[in-house]
Amino acid sequence: MARLRAAGCVFAEDEADLLVEAAAGSAADLERMLVRRVAGDPLEQILGWAEFAGLRIRVTPGVFVPRRRSELLVRCALSALAGVKDPLVLDLCCGSAALGAAIAAARPDARVWAADLDPAATASARLNLPPHQVLEGDLFEALPLHLRGRIDAIVVNAPYVPTAAIATMPPEARLFEAPMALDGGVDGLDVQRRVIAGAPEWVAPGGTLLIETSERQAPQTAALFEAAGLHPQIERDDDLDATAVIGRTGRMRKATG
């Protein structure tokens, strides 16, 4: 801790402890990590992991760092899957696959797939899920056809920051995470529109689509669900500053027997 202060930068004690732990006694490694942190690199990318839903999710440089607010999606997905035996789950726009890994940890019987367009993201995701279950491609185009109409829950943290707002984001996100993981187009809903339009073809009877969004955007996201034939509800967690829209098909959920 004294060495960190001597470098002219005072870190929160818990952050300093994490860096010391990661350095594993190597003064040279600690110095390299400190230099990166002073330069603004996200702590999680320096450590190589982010804490999420009680797990250490492996995170590599340039990849979107999972936020605690996304734990709302995990909680809502687990609730939606409560009556489903051996559920099939898709973490779409997965980044490091934090959502999928958290669901898999809570539901060991779940078969969890993940997909992302960014090769760096899928490489990170393969550190958190079985590699063969992480797919690379543009949204649903990445999926094998045998998953069509069979997915019980699709969890999505698609980019939803309006393009003009990117410049106002904290430097740790704006400078060190892939733009495609942040930029949602003019109104922030470009990727959400494509996901919602394509989801009904892939979700199982009675299945659920869950999308993180902002509190301001939630009514628009819910309207997109309705237009796609899904039945939306908006979930809000003020403690996490998190908002999600959840939509189910109008068909019967499959039996659990």
**What are the chain's domains?**
2-58 (no CATH), 68-248 (3.40.50.150)
For residues 108 and 86, give the distance between their C-alpha atoms in angstroms, rounded to a whole number. 9
Instruction: With beta carbons less than 8 A apart as the criterion, state whether 45 and 176 touch.
Output: yes
pLDDT at 10 over 50: no
Half-sphere exposure of 199 toward its Cβ, with a 13 Å CA cutoff? 35
Confidence of residue 256 (pLDDT cuts 50, 70, 90): very low
How far is the CA of 28 from the CAs of 22, 35, 36, 94, in angstroms? Answer: 12, 11, 13, 34
Q: pLDDT tens for residues 174-222?
A: 998 999 999 999 999 999 999 999 999 999 999 999 999 999 999 999 9
| CA dihedral sign of residues 208, 209, 214, 218 | negative
Instruction: With beta carbons less than 8 A apart as the criterion, state whether 37 and 10 touch.
Output: no
- Eight-class DSSP state of 146: G
For residues 249 and 204, give the distance between their C-alpha atoms in angstroms, rounded to a whole number. 8
For residues 37 and 163, give the distance between their C-alpha atoms in angstroms, rounded to a whole number. 27
Q: pLDDT tens for residues 70-127?
A: 999 999 999 999 989 999 999 999 999 999 999 999 999 999 999 999 999 999 999 9
How far is the CA of 251 from the CAs of 205, 224, 248, in angstroms? Answer: 5, 19, 8
pLDDT at 9 over 60: no
How far is the CA of 110 from the CAs of 69, 82, 212, 226, in angstroms? Answer: 22, 11, 21, 28
pTM of the model: 0.88
